[in-house]
Amino acid sequence: MVMNTGARLITWLVPGMDWLSLERAVQEFKELMVGQVDMRQEAANLLKFRDNFRNHPRVFFPEPLNEFCGPAVLVEDWVDGVGIQEYMDQTKKEGEVLRKELAGLGVDMLLKMVFTDNYWHGDLHPGNILVTSGNRLCVLDTGVASSLTEGDRENLIHTFRAVVLGESCKVGELFLERSYHECLDKEAFKKDMQSIVDEARSAQLSLDRIDVCQLLQSVFSTLMRHHVRLDANFSSVVIAIAIVEGLGRVLDPQLDLVSRALPFLMRNKY
């Protein structure tokens, strides 16, 4: 109630901010928070992820015991494992090969969620990932999960594909075509986006050469400056990628995002 009133007040006091649709953003935030406190929703998310990864040999999710679950209670089967943060010590040379393996596995897991399943975990920090026997990954805490509409998904895939293939001139154009905006200088926006992508591409999108969080901050700043609005779930994809990027940077700084993402993007129907 307070946030919604504040959003209306800001929009009324600063008419130039109505393009941000603050009331809609508050409503989306409310829906996200309500979903998180209902344990039945988290159990449903677990079942969805389990189904999506049922044939994956190295990634799995705990099984919810639905007969014991309720609005305030979530019961899952027990999983033995060690938090992936235990493998993030770069001073231990004997674990270097395994760290690289886990980094690739984690990045591929997220790419599958986003580009194949259109259903991703919104909180993939190290505390929510266990390394189990056989160096498999078990993912916990599925309270935050998102997906995109068909149109927004197509936008996401085309945008990432343009970045990965180095088609920087298309990125700004795609944002303008597929996002709500009040951009007054479309050519300037497209040039700014092209410059960001070209800079990222020159670093080959390898985690030891590029700060993905800084890259995303540049993108968001450019969108804000030119009054181009992203769908909220599009933003959540970016946040998920930023979190996994941080994990990958520690485990394997040489991990190449382009080579990892390309198969997922090119096999897509769009």
Q: Which of 18, 38, 80, 123 is catalytic?
A: 123
CA distance 146 to 119: 6
Per-residue buried b or exposed e for 129-141, using 16+ beta carbons within 10 Å of the residue's own CB = bbbeeeebbbbbb
Give yes or no for a contact between 248 and 241, defined as CB atoms under 8 angstroms apart.
no
The full DSSP string for 146-170 is E---HHHHHHHHHHHHHHHTT-HHH
Give yes or no for a contact between 265 and 161, defined as CB atoms under 8 angstroms apart.
yes
Q: Determine whether 123 is an active site residue.
A: yes
Instruction: Count CB-CB contacts under 10 A for residue 219.
Output: 21
Work out whether strand 59-60 and strand 136-139 pair parallel, antiparallel, or are unpaired.
Answer: parallel
Residues annotated as catalytic (active site), given as ranges = 123
